[in-house]
Structure 1
Amino acid sequence: MKIMILAAGRGTRMRELTERTAKPLLSLWGRPMLEWQLLKAKEAGFSGAVINTAHHSELFDRYAGSKVMPGLNIEISKEGEDFSGALETKGGIVKALPLLSDGKEPFAVVSGDIVTAYDYRQLRAAAEAVRCGRFDAHLVLVPNPYFKDTGDMDVREGLVYREPKRLTYGNIAVFSPRIFEKESAEKAPLFPWLYQFVDAGRVSGELYCGPWANVGTPEDLAHFGRERNFAVTEA
């Protein structure tokens, strides 16, 4: 199974920090946030990683192949030369689909700007259920972070529901390629499109209450730089 790391966005809340670099390439704990994701993917035994790029896409070229992260083959899905070409989550997945799956194998998707102690090996059971056709997707939900007044969804007895909006999507998921096969590689968000599968009872889920953060602002970057409790793997 492969993993896709979303890295195409501009990161406007980072203000001047992303004028000359991409948000996932900002340094945290001595290395780019993107590399912590790659280390976690390698540790979890993923067969390969796909990084989608747009904003400062040229800065990601050095990651292609396996030299930067031996043992993990990395491919780049370039959506444009700058942020104007970014296709958002759904569009980015559709464009990268030929790199992610043979049409049957599920794949994982994570954001390049989150840090977490969630063990990506835990996605294997969910991936098997998707592979067997029991579900079309699996979402990892987290308690609402400080910057959100309401959540996105809820999870009960292993199924995701739209209501009550008690929890936040943690930007960690497993998807079946089937649901993207007939979609166009054009700019489009994942939600509300994915809700059709939630409403059909085709999306499993779990609540993760361990260390997790979306590093969205310079203040977040400074804060989490001082608080290293995420148990991320060292190289």
Structure 2
Amino acid sequence: MKAMIFAAGRGERMRPLTDSCPKPLLKVRGRPLITWHVLNLVRAGILDIVINHSHLGHTIEEELGDGSRYGARIVYSHEPTPLETAGGIANALHLLGDEPFLAVSGDIYAPYFDFSLALDALKDIDAVGVPYPVDKRDIAWLWLTPNPWHNPDGDFALDLYTLKNDGATKWNFAGIGVYRAEMFDGIQAGEFLKFGPLMRKFIEQGRVGGEIYQGQWVNVGTVGQLEELNAPLRAAKTAS
């Protein structure tokens, strides 16, 4: 399985920090956000990684290189203008291939997430070995979290392991998912396209599965959140 890390966002809410540093390179507890993902992907045995970038993208390439020092194989998909999530995936499909792939937001901090869960996320056969019809099998599998303060109403409901667009209890999309390449059929390379409407279309068809992740997860969206995450490290340095 290959993985894609989204790193093309401008990080407007993190300015002025992101004026000179792309958001995924901001450090949390001693290492860049994106490096946490690379290390955890390698630990899970997912070595082929595609990273899209735009704003100050060359600095991401300078930091991570070809990934060999982490035991990974990293290639890059540059976007002169950010294409949003669905557009970014479509633009990188030639690097991701035809098999299901994992994708993760480069600005989340989830140091204990086990990416090996992705390896078994999308099944082509049922529990007794009968192949699913191509138009009935799950096209995506998402991880959800309890709703954070910045998304109190959540994104999707969950009926056992099937996502719903509406429901009494809705959960926050964690920015981690596994997708089939066919989900992005018809989207042209270089096309700007948001992820939400596309995902909701397939959820309405009953073709998106998911589960809850209860471990540490933070969408690092503000300078205050970054400072809060780094407070223990600063305290330890002060004490020493």
Alpha-carbon distance in structure 1 between the residues aligned to 2:69 and 2:56: 18
Gaps of 5+ in 1: 229-235
Amino acid at match of 2:39: L
Q: Does 1:114 align with 2:116?
A: no
Counterpart residue number, 1:96: 92
Quote how far apart the aligned CAs of 1:160 are.
0.4
Alpha-carbon distance in structure 1 between the residues aligned to 2:28 and 2:67: 22
2:155–2:170 Cα contact (<8 Å) kept: yes
TM-score by length of 2: 0.87
Alpha-carbon distance in structure 1 between the residues aligned to 2:96 and 2:49: 8
Which of these residues, 151, 154, 177, is aligned with residue 151 of structure 1?
Answer: 154
Alpha-carbon distance in structure 2 between the residues aligned to 1:77 and 1:64: 13
Query: Of the two, which has the highest radius of gyration?
Result: 2
Quote how far apart the aligned CAs of 1:147 are.
1.4
Q: Does 1:2 align with 2:2?
A: yes
Structure 1 residue ranges, 4+ long, deviating more than 4 angstroms after superposition = 129-133
Quote how far apart the aligned CAs of 1:183 are.
1.1
Counterpart residue number, 2:238: none
2:122–2:139 Cα contact (<8 Å) kept: no
Alpha-carbon distance in structure 1 between the residues aligned to 2:102 and 2:177: 6
Counterpart residue number, 1:232: none
Alpha-carbon distance in structure 1 between the residues aligned to 2:220 and 2:205: 32
Counterpart residue number, 2:176: 172
SS in 1 for 2:88: helix
Alpha-carbon distance in structure 2 between the residues aligned to 1:179 and 1:148: 26
Amino acid at match of 2:67: S
% identical aligned pairs: 37
Counterpart residue number, 1:183: 187
1:101-150: CA deviations, max 9, x gaps? 1x2x1000000111112211111221345997521000101110011231
Question: Which is further off, 208-217 or 59-68?
Answer: 59-68
Alpha-carbon distance in structure 1 between the residues aligned to 2:211 and 2:231: 29
- C-alpha RMSD of the superposition: 1.8
Amino acid at match of 1:124: L
Alpha-carbon distance in structure 1 between the residues aligned to 2:155 and 2:231: 29
Q: Does 1:124 align with 2:128?
A: no
Counterpart residue number, 1:136: 139
Alpha-carbon distance in structure 2 between the residues aligned to 1:157 and 1:172: 18
Gaps of 5+ in 2: 126-130, 234-240
How do 1:20-39 residues align onto structure 2 when only pairs under 5 Å count? 20-39=20-39
